[in-house]
Structure 1
Amino acid sequence: MKKSALFIVSALVLVAIVLFIFQHQRKEITEEKINKEQVVSPDSTDELWYKKSIIYTLDVEVFKDSDHDGTCDFKGLISRLGYIDSLGADAIWLSPFQPTPNKDDGYDVSDYYQVDKRLGTLDDFTAFMQRAKALKMKVIMDLVVNHTSDQHPWFKEARSNKNSPYRPWYVWSKELPENYNVGMVFPGVQKTIWSYDSVANEFYYHRFYSFQPDLNSQYKPVRKEIKKIIKFWMDRGINGFRLDGVPFFIEIPQKTGEKFEHQYEMLTDMRHYVNSLDKDAIILGEANVLPDENKDFFGEHGDGMHMMFNFFVNQHLFYALATGKTDPLINALERTKEIPKNAEWGQFLRNHDEVDLGRLSEKEREEVYKKFGPEKNMQLYDRGIRRRLAPMMNNNKKQLQLAYSVLFSLPSTPVMRYGDELGMGDDLRLKERLSVRTPMQWNNTKNAGFTNNDKPVLPVINTGAFRYANINVSDEQADSSSFLNWTVKMVKLRKKCPEISFGQWDILDTGSEGILAIHYQWNNQHVITLHNFTEQKQEVTIRDKSLDNKTLRDMITAEYIQHSRDRQTVSLEGYGYKWFRVQ
């Protein structure tokens, strides 16, 4: 009997050892495969559509009003899809469009299964999706499931009844937690992350504003409901989701401390579910994290989120634009370089929020403030700038073009904010981030042509250099030298360079602190981009042995340069740029 038991135990131990070795070897093989196959093969580019896209982000509420009630809508958006298509954009990211009290511009959702009646109906949404599909455009929507509005029926029932099945959908505390006033998302404006509810007679958790109680995403019924929401919109044609506030969504809240444990497996689970419904659909995550954390969010084996915004590079890009110093930007690019081959960065200049400079040193941040946001009302949350790009740069066309040429040339998918293709301005009279969320400027008629109503949902910019009489689609389309027409040309240029979307890249050493030089290789093709972040003309030396005796063709001017054996010198004007194809 004892021998039999000993044999069984020994056998179980042996099986455990074999399984451990198998899993370990499998992991090593998988990692080796990912590392060896960093370059995407030409046969797989279609399934990785998000690597070669140009994403255009907009808020339906302020884009185009079809019924002139003052608020834009899906019918109005449908009427302007041709314009978005003319830009060369082939994917649209929609800000929240679901029912909302609108205390946080739609990021306080009160019903996940409807369209805000101000913006139209589900039928209008369906018509929009059909038109977008006809134009071969992908559509990504905001998925705001870290929190709900406090007016959501779930929260109303949870707070009113301790025995409600919705009570555990939120996070509660009978006593005021000791960390109630740390870790706010909006410091300087938001005061706490725990607030007392007089109906529930308890404190509830909210990483964002007090009217946005956090969902308890660790609770299985909540996760099940999130999958229902995902399926509901994917059944209506959605191609992916921009997942809001990812680090907060996957954290496990505690009543002490500020940094909480993250459940990264939630991202893998969501990815698998999304791709079980549509193998080509994606998750684009908002996660302002340090480079060492990237693998946790992308997944060690590329099974986390498909895309993330590269906030780390964005912040150092603004530092380079403000100072002319590119070394920190190059370092940021190098530190965010190693990602799974099926993953991609989403790179942007401006989005719907402030320019977040929180990852810069205090000295670096002050340098950017001094250049781009010197006045206190231009700054926000003790970390950022609440301005659009054109006014930050004093409408310096050469620097604006440099900034967007850099954006289109970086190893990532470009994300464009509506109106930035025109050089739209901001309205600092508006509260917090609303300053950069003003209505689209279509022409020089009443309210910039976006509505005829006397009371638009937000005021149109009608004074100063950026007033709609000066900056609008109609006038810029008719002007061959406009920033709009220049942007269209640059989008076309980017689309001619699959090397940037799918290839390997290296920084070229030019010996100049103010120059960013990148060499891309893919499918036996080579592209080199050069950017001068300084105001002064510079002679740039390209050193790359792989280019010996090759010809460089300027993709903008069509001029040819013969690369000598050791080096090639190229002249760049202040804020100048060059794109070369190697032949």
Structure 2
Amino acid sequence: MKITDTGDLWWKSAVVYCLDVETYLDSDGDGIGDLTGLGRRIDYLADLGVTCLWLMPFYPTADRDDGYDVTDFYGVDPRLGNHGDLVEVIRSARDRGIRVIVDLVVNHTSDKHPWFVAARRSKTSPYRDFYVWRDEPPANNVNAVFPGEESTLWELDEKTGQYYLHSFYRHQPDLNIANPTVRDEIAKTIGFWLQLGISGFRVDAVPFLLEVPEGADFSDPHEYLRDLRRFLQRRSKEAVLLGEVNLPYRDQRTYFGTGKGEELTLQFDFIGMQALYLSLTRSDPRPLAKALRGRPAIAPESQWANFVRNHDELTLDKLTEAEREEVFAAFAPDESQRVYGRGITRRLPTMLGGDPRRIRMVYSLLFSLPGTPVLFYGEEIGMGENPEIPGRMSVRTPMQWHDGRNGGFSSAAPSRLPSLPPEGGHGPRHVNASDQMNDEGSLLHFMRRLAARYRISPEIGWGELEILEHDAPGVLVHSLTADVGRMIAFHNFTDEPRAVRIALSDEPAGTELSDLFGPGRTPLDDRGRFEIELAPYGWSWQRLSRPGDGRIG
């Protein structure tokens, strides 16, 4: 499919930014971030180059899992604001070219949700079949999602004497998608938020959502996912489903759909992310190159979502045990920096020792990989984690706006904040948005430039990937080719300078390389050869300028 023939497939060239309203900006001094505060930062996000804002759960909650234990799928947590405040955020964002997507957390509810409260009153409750029950738990009643925090998958409800399934925490009973009434409720939830102006959903833990209870008459869970996508597109032609599917590539391909991308619109590339950290550990891009080559072909309407860090632990579960231990030794040498035997509770800058060269190389790579880049709030300024906060919550600290009280997040006493920013070199005194806005050499300005160049490089979101061979050890060179042109990205994973020599025998005479971040131009010789010099941890984006093509750059 040609880029010019696609219509408005906006997600193919989006810049996605994930944030938690509760920790972004407190407008009224109660210690909790809110929608009004977020509204005051829409211009900041637009200036950064964000085109899609992903909001973590803002629904009413029992607040035992940072909002993922929802008590009302149609509500707004009153601590954060109300529906009017949310609509103002959506309108303000849309006015600046930013779409808003939200978390869809419908694999489970809170045990305080009215449905579950009613379900546990009696086995004959009309809500009983909204959840999954058994008289006895199966023999393999082991919770693999949160080892060390939850030991079982089935919890006894003493009043009715039956066990209910909880794939996550015991206070999050699983919904039963084999029940058509539950499926209807999920569709109504989607329809409600679309009507308010939402442009799609990040679907939480999709494989768990599609798990069907043993013995249920529901033969194809993927037909349900296809049905959700059809419903979504009937209600909004622009809306997307961004799925969390941490599975091997062969299984992820199934969640896109077998035809023209009729299931999930985008999926996070967990395999590529984990290979990236193995490559960083070894100063060798080959694990990442192998992962990129292993990506299955997907429909032109579908897309991979690339990320360096998200709001959970940095999971390494798809690496081998030996590979995982390598990454642990390099980036989480202390046991307190690890969780569940598979993940790291640190942000990128602290893992890389604050080295600005490596940090910038990684984000250059993120924006140049085929797919859509996804940022977690604070990445644009190099925020670190708070090691005093245990587990995955260590990276969900308040946004650091300036070097004053609470990093400018709130005027409340620190004891009233949902969590505290870190101290030391990655705390607000040294890392904050205000200082970096006035420093053209800052990470924030660098990220703005990356986003701007990405936005005028449709080859990245649309192009066909090729890993180019060369003789410079420790350097990844990848090419992206679309009908509008071709670009080549170079990334040096080593602390040594590298000279990279490439031959492009298929390019016409007179072709030259144009540096997308500078004035440099490099002509190809009569055999299509050229050389690029890279500094330690250096990087370069080059566009092929063919005679008469008229491209910018």
Instruction: Please give the range of the TM-score, normalised by the shorter of the 2 chains.
Output: over 0.9
Shift of 1:337: 4.3
Structure possessing the higher radius of gyration over alpha carbons: 1
* 1:362 alignment counterpart: 321
* 2:450 alignment counterpart: 490
Using structure 2 for the length normalisation, give the TM-score.
0.95
**What pairs up with 1:225-374 in 2 under 5 angstroms?**
225-254=185-214, 263-301=221-259, 302-374=261-333
Contact 2:305/2:372 (<8 A) preserved: yes
In structure 1, how many angstroms separate the alpha carbons of the residues matched to 2:299 and 2:35?
Answer: 36
In structure 2, how many angstroms separate the alpha carbons of the residues matched to 1:359 and 1:249?
Answer: 20
Over residues 347-371 of structure 1, what are the superposed CA-to-partner deviations in whole Å (9 max), with x where a residue is unaligned? 1000101111111111111111111
In structure 2, how many angstroms separate the alpha carbons of the residues matched to 1:263 and 1:153?
Answer: 26
**Does the alignment pair 1:567 with 2:535?**
no
**Does the alignment pair 1:425 with 2:384?**
yes
In structure 2, how many angstroms separate the alpha carbons of the residues matched to 1:439 and 1:456?
Answer: 12
Against the structure 1 CA distance between its residues 323 and 472, is the aligned structure 2 distance closer, same or farther, given a 3 Å change threshold?
Answer: same
**Does the alignment pair 1:148 with 2:106?**
no
Contact 1:327/1:513 (<8 A) preserved: no
Against the structure 1 CA distance between its residues 40 and 375, is the aligned structure 2 distance closer, same or farther, given a 3 Å change threshold?
Answer: farther
Moved more, 369-378 or 129-138: 129-138
In structure 1, how many angstroms separate the alpha carbons of the residues matched to 2:473 and 2:416?
Answer: 47
Contact 2:3/2:484 (<8 A) preserved: no
Aligned residues: 539
Which residue identity is paired with 1:116? D
**Does the alignment pair 1:222 with 2:182?**
yes
Alignment equivalent of 1:578, drawn from 526, 540, 545? 540
In structure 1, how many angstroms separate the alpha carbons of the residues matched to 2:364 and 2:426?
Answer: 22
In structure 1, how many angstroms separate the alpha carbons of the residues matched to 2:67 and 2:419?
Answer: 17
**Does the alignment pair 1:448 with 2:407?**
yes
Which residue identity is paired with 1:382? G
In structure 2, how many angstroms separate the alpha carbons of the residues matched to 1:363 and 1:514?
Answer: 21
In structure 1, how many angstroms separate the alpha carbons of the residues matched to 2:271 and 2:239?
Answer: 25
In structure 1, how many angstroms separate the alpha carbons of the residues matched to 2:174 and 2:134?
Answer: 13
**Does the alignment pair 1:161 with 2:129?**
no
Secondary structure of the residue that 2:426 maps to in structure 1?
coil
Alignment equivalent of 2:365, drawn from 393, 406, 415? 406
* 2:344 alignment counterpart: 385
* 1:41 alignment counterpart: 3
Over residues 135-165 of structure 1, what are the superposed CA-to-partner deviations in whole Å (9 max), with x where a residue is unaligned? 1211110000000000101001101111111
Over residues 369-391 of structure 1, what are the superposed CA-to-partner deviations in whole Å (9 max), with x where a residue is unaligned? 11111110101111110111111
Shift of 1:41: 3.0
In structure 2, how many angstroms separate the alpha carbons of the residues matched to 1:463 and 1:148?
Answer: 35
Using structure 1 for the length normalisation, give the TM-score.
0.90
**CA RMSD between the two structures:** 1.5
Which residue identity is paired with 2:541? W
Contact 1:40/1:503 (<8 A) preserved: no
Contact 1:247/1:262 (<8 A) preserved: no
Contact 1:65/1:73 (<8 A) preserved: yes
Moved over 4 A (4+): none
Shift of 1:198: 1.3
Secondary structure of the residue that 1:146 maps to in structure 2?
coil
Secondary structure of the residue that 2:425 maps to in structure 1?
coil
In structure 2, how many angstroms separate the alpha carbons of the residues matched to 1:570 and 1:582?
Answer: 13
Shift of 1:346: 0.7
Which residue identity is paired with 2:337? M
Over residues 72-104 of structure 1, what are the superposed CA-to-partner deviations in whole Å (9 max), with x where a residue is unaligned? 100010011110111000100000000001111
Shift of 1:431: 2.6
In structure 2, how many angstroms separate the alpha carbons of the residues matched to 1:511 and 1:358?
Answer: 32
In structure 2, how many angstroms separate the alpha carbons of the residues matched to 1:402 and 1:513?
Answer: 16
In structure 2, how many angstroms separate the alpha carbons of the residues matched to 1:237 and 1:330?
Answer: 39
Which residue identity is paired with 1:552? L
* 2:396 alignment counterpart: 437
Which residue identity is paired with 2:449? K
**Does the alignment pair 1:62 with 2:17?**
no
Secondary structure of the residue that 2:421 maps to in structure 1?
coil
In structure 1, how many angstroms separate the alpha carbons of the residues matched to 2:92 and 2:422?
Answer: 32
**What pairs up with 1:175-214 in 2 under 5 angstroms?**
175-182=136-143, 184-214=144-174
**What pairs up with 1:491-530 in 2 under 5 angstroms?**
491-530=451-490
Which residue identity is paired with 1:170? Y
In structure 1, how many angstroms separate the alpha carbons of the residues matched to 2:472 and 2:178?
Answer: 50
